[in-house]
Amino acid sequence: MRLVAEGLSARRGEDLIFQDVSFEIAGGEALVVKGANGSGKSTLLRVLAGLLPAEKGTAKLLAAAQPVERLSEAAHYLGHRNAMKRELTVDENLSFWKAFFGDFAGGTGVSADEAAESVGLGGIVHLPFGYLSAGQQRRMAMAKLLVAWRPVWILDEPTAALDAAAEAMFAGLVTAHLAHGGIAIAATHQPLGLEGVKELRMKGFEYSSLETWA
Ligand SMILES: Nc1ncnc2c1ncn2[C@@H]1O[C@H](COP(=O)(O)OP(=O)(O)OP(=O)(O)O)[C@@H](O)[C@H]1O
pTM above 0.90, yes or no: yes
- Closest-CA residue, ligand 1 atom 6, reads 12
Q: Is the pLDDT of residue 214 over 50?
A: no
Cα separation values, 188 from 86, 101, 122, 201, Å: 26, 25, 27, 11
What mean pLDDT is predicted for residues 35-55?
95
* Predicted pLDDT of residue 146: 98
Q: How much distance in Å is there from the Cα of 127 to the middle of ligand 1?
A: 34
Query: ipTM exceeding 0.90?
Result: yes
Exposure of 192 in the CB half-sphere (CA atoms within 13 A): 27
Does pLDDT of 85 surpass 80? yes
Range 2-212: architecture per CATH: 3-Layer(aba) Sandwich (3.40)
Q: Which atom of ligand 1 is nearest to the CA of 46?
A: 18
Question: Which of 16, 18, 33, 43 for mutating ligand 1's site (highest number of atoms within 8 Å of CB)?
Answer: 43
Say which residues have a Cβ less than 8 Å from residue 115's Cβ, sequence separation at least 6: 94, 109, 143, 144, 146, 147
Domain extent listing, the chain: 2-212
Q: Give the per-residue pLDDT at 211.
A: 55
* Residue 212: pLDDT over 70: no
